[in-house]
Amino acid sequence: MSSTPSSDSRDTPSVPALSVRELRVEFPTRHGTLVALDDVSFDIAPGEILGVVGESGAGKSMTGNAVIQLLEPPGRIAGGEVHLGSQRIDDLDEDAFVPLRGRHIGMIFQDPLTSLNPLFSVGEQLIETIRAHLPMNHKQARGRALELLREVGIPAPENRLDAYPHQFSGGMRQRVVIALALAAEPELVIADEPTTALDVSVQAQILALLKRLCAERGTAVMLVTHDMGVIAETADRVAVMYAGRLIEIGPVEAVIREPQHPYTRGLMASIPGIETSRERLYQIEGAMPRLAAIPSGCAFNPRCPHATERCRRERPDLLPAGTSRAACWLHDPIDPVIPVSEEVAADGH
């Protein structure tokens, strides 16, 4: 498989490692159906790292859980398609999906303290995972486990294999979690806030490790985080989510330097120290709507300085904007909305 990372998957000739099309996730509740993900589409090429950012509740973790089909009940995929390589996977039932997890899609969770079962040694958990996917006997699997621990940078792995999770520090535990996720060499890894729970000093090490291992194996990575710093450092492309929708996607450089969606602009302006230093951080007025009360048209329209009647009525698709694509009528090639007060909105651009 080709592992040349491409800057934008639209031009990638090979089959993407993951392709998500018009994905829709619903939560039926007593008070009606909540739409948690609405019309989300993106690709990740083999060896590519796609960062997914957004506020909490924007649907970034939900996207990862939907891809690996670990949605909390009663959540369910209500529409769209998910393809892993050339195989469609969103319509598989639980029994058919189990062999995919770990073998073809790995997952890393936020908190290494709670991701590992405290009652089983690290070795037991590695060996059971390896043997679930690869035709190995116990001894071979043990050898492979040692190799994996060495690869993720655990010193003296032969002494640590029989240790229990509580005997490892947070950073070391997350290394073990990465080893577990990569144990069967999956083509795609979903990393859900992999460094959020770690000390700042350890974060960079873990990210570098993840990046190196995935590059070596040509593994595609979906990196879910709310931390733009992590994205800037690690990802090739970035997808921005808002209220269950994908509102902007493009190369990391482009999205950070020239954000195209008014929400992304606000988001970038509110991050300290990426571009310029300013005395007071920018704040976007208002708050992201609850899932039960998403406004019609563009979900961002009540907070958007450029909002027009059309924004309130009609939902924009992802439209080409610079080297990115953004879901905003500002970029409508036929009838663009005229930005009303660019300086106020982007403050400092």
Partner 1 sequence: MLAFLIQRVFQAIFVMLVVALIAFSLFHYVGDPVLNMVGQEATEADRAELRTRLGLDQPIAIQFFQFIANAAQFEFGISYRSARPVTDLIVERLPATLELAIISAIFAVVMGIVLGIYTALNRGNWLSNFIMTASLIGVSLPTFLIGVLLIYVFAVELGWLPAFGRGETVRLGDWWTTGLLTTSGLRSLILPAITLGLFQLTLIMRLVRAEMLEVLRADYIKFARARGLSKRVVNLRHALKNTLIPVITIIGLQLGTIIAFAIITETVFQWPGVGALFITAVRFVDIPVMAAYLMMIALVFVVINLIVDLLYYAVDPRLRVQGGAK
Residue 38 Cβ vs partner 1, minimum distance, rounded to whole Å: 24
Residue 93 Cβ vs partner 1, minimum distance, rounded to whole Å: 12
**Which residue, among 319, 321, 299, has the nearest Cα to 311 in the 3D structure?**
299
Question: Is residue 324 part of the contact set for partner 1 (CB under 8 A)?
Answer: no
Please report, as a single letter, which amino acid is at residue 102.
G
**Which residue, among 82, 86, 91, 45, has the nearest Cα to 64 in the 3D structure?**
82
Q: State which residue, 159 or 276, has the beta carbon closest to partner 1.
A: 159
Residues 52-71 as x/- pattern, contact with partner 1 by CB under 8 A: ----------------x-x-
Binding residues for partner 1, how many (CB under 8 A)?
A: 39
CA–CA dist 48, 192 (Å, integer): 16
Candidate segments 33-41, 45-53, 173-181, 294-302, binder of partner 1 by CB under 8 A: 173-181
Question: Is residue 99 part of the contact set for partner 1 (CB under 8 A)?
Answer: yes
For 246, counting Cβ atoms within 10 Å of its Cβ (0-12 exposed, 13-18 middle, 19+ buried), the class is: buried
Question: Is residue 133 part of the contact set for partner 1 (CB under 8 A)?
Answer: yes
Alpha-carbon distance values, 39 to 88, 263, 315, 344 (Å): 17, 18, 11, 30
On whether the CB atoms of residues 237 and 9 are closer than 8 A, the answer is yes
On whether the CB atoms of residues 60 and 224 are closer than 8 A, the answer is yes
Question: Is residue 163 part of the contact set for partner 1 (CB under 8 A)?
Answer: yes
Pairing of strands 188-192, 87-88: unpaired
Binds partner 1 by CB under 8 A, chosen from 164, 202, 305, 347: 164
Candidate segments 2-10, 78-86, 115-123, 316-324, binder of partner 1 by CB under 8 A: 115-123
Question: Is residue 106 part of the contact set for partner 1 (CB under 8 A)?
Answer: yes
Question: Is residue 310 part of the contact set for partner 1 (CB under 8 A)?
Answer: no
Query: Quick one: CA dihedral 60, 61, 64, 67, positive or negative?
Result: negative
Binds partner 1 by CB under 8 A, chosen from 55, 81, 128, 233: 128
Which residues in this chain contact partner 1 in the complex, by CB under 8 A?
A: 68, 70, 94, 98-103, 106-107, 109, 111, 114-121, 125, 128-129, 132-133, 160, 163-164, 166-169, 172, 177, 180-181, 183-184
